[in-house]
């Protein structure tokens, strides 16, 4: 093909690309976009109505003293501290284990039978209802420690953190694996060409490159765990007072809302709505933080 014919062909292609779509195709495209927009707005209605109701009922009672008084004194500071404590315990238990398991699945085990089994179990765990996790933690921690305390049930913040850690673990594991798989293969080859071992490549090349994605998965797992109620009912119960330690019954915002939403005292119901604002704000904070981490280069 001569350069003249190729130039004419390129001009014809450019002309076709610049030609407006036929009226029917424009109408169809605009119609599909309108339908998608309408259904997107319909999907947002429950979320908007929920947030609006919480703000409408909770904001008028939002006072500074609520954040430094325990529930028995008319506040929920002990529940906030309890929630943060149990999420922190869950993070300590699940983050190292989840990240290491994800690294094993992506870099060391890969398609081995052990890796396939671990990946299958992690995938199943992501769909297990949280109340089942609560029953498991009750049997694994509460009943076990009860045998060591002369029959007294050992509901505690540690048991609650253990249950939340089980919920967080598969999310962190699968996220870490997928993030490491997305890292370009030439980085691995370049490290191997420079004499780096698999361990050195993973620790010095892959992990620094995957930190934003791994951190995002961790923060999303934390946000999910912070709003869980059912596991804490079976493990941490509730306390009207400040917690005496991580091995004692501990208050939390989700359980506070669950226990007292239908209370006969209007003041307690108002307190529940205000606690809902704090809980939603806490979850929103972790979600926004994950978005900020994702955008960092």
Query: Which of 19, 40, 57 lies at the terminal end of a domain, its last residue?
Result: 57
Residue 229: which CATH number? Answer: 1.10.3720.10
Residue pLDDT, tens place only, 120-136: 999 999 889 999 999 99
- 28 and 117, same domain (yes or no): no
pLDDT tens, residue by residue, 236-262: 988 888 888 888 889 999 999 988 888
Residues 12 and 127 both lie in one domain? no
- Using a cut of 0.75, tell me whether the model's pTM lies above it: yes
* Mean pLDDT of the 50-69 span: 86
Q: Are residues 224 and 186 in the same domain?
A: yes
- Structure-token match 């999907």, residue found: 43
**Domain encompassing residue 208:** 64-295
Among the three residues 57, 83, 100, which one is the final residue of a domain in this structure? 57
pLDDT of residue 14: 57
pLDDT number for residue 231? 93
For residues 159 and 179, membership in a common domain is answered with yes
Question: Which one of 17, 37, 57 terminates a domain?
Answer: 57
| 83 and 50 in a common domain | no
Question: What's the domain count of the chain?
Answer: 2
User: Does 156 lie in the same domain as 35?
Assistant: no
Q: Binning pLDDT at 50, 70 and 90, where does residue 10 land?
A: low
Same domain, 128 and 21: no
One domain, residues 44 and 191: no
- Report pLDDT for 163: 94
Query: Could you tell me if 147 and 225 lie in one domain?
Result: yes
Same domain, yes or no: 185 and 273: yes
**Residues 74 and 40 occupy one common structural domain:** no
Do 31 and 69 sit in the same domain of this protein? Answer: no
């Amino acid at each position: 093909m001569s350069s003249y014919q190729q130039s004419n062909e390129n001009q014809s292609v450019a002309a076709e690309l610049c030609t407006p779509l036929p009226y029917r195709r424009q109408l169809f495209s605009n119609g599909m976009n309108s339908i998608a927009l309408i259904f997107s707005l319909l999907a947002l209605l429950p979320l908007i109505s929920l947030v609006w109701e919480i703000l409408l009922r909770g904001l008028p009672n939002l006072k500074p003293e609520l954040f430094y008084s325990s529930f028995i004194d008319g506040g929920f500071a002990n529940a906030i501290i309890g929630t943060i404590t149990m999420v922190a315990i869950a993070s300590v238990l699940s983050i190292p284990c989840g990240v290491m398991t994800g690294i094993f699945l992506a870099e060391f085990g890969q398609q081995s039978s052990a890796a396939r089994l671990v990946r299958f179990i992690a995938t199943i765990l992501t769909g297990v209802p949280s109340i089942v996790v609560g029953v498991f933690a009750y049997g694994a921690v509460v009943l076990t420690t009860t045998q060591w305390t002369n029959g007294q049930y050992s509901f505690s913040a540690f048991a609650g953190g253990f249950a939340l850690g089980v919920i967080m673990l598969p999310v962190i594991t699968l996220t870490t694996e997928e993030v490491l798989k997305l890292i370009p293969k030439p980085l691995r080859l370049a490290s191997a060409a420079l004499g780096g071992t698999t361990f050195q490549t993973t620790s010095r090349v892959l992990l620094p490159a995957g930190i934003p994605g791994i951190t995002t998965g961790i923060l999303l797992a934390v946000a999910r765990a912070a709003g869980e109620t059912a596991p804490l009912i079976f493990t941490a119960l509730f306390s009207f007072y400040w917690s005496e330690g991580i091995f004692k019954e501990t208050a939390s915002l989700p359980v506070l809302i669950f226990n007292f939403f239908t209370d006969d005292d209007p003041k307690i119901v108002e307190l529940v709505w205000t606690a809902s604002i704090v809980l939603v704000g806490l979850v929103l904070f972790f979600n926004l933080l994950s978005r900020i981490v994702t955008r960092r280069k």
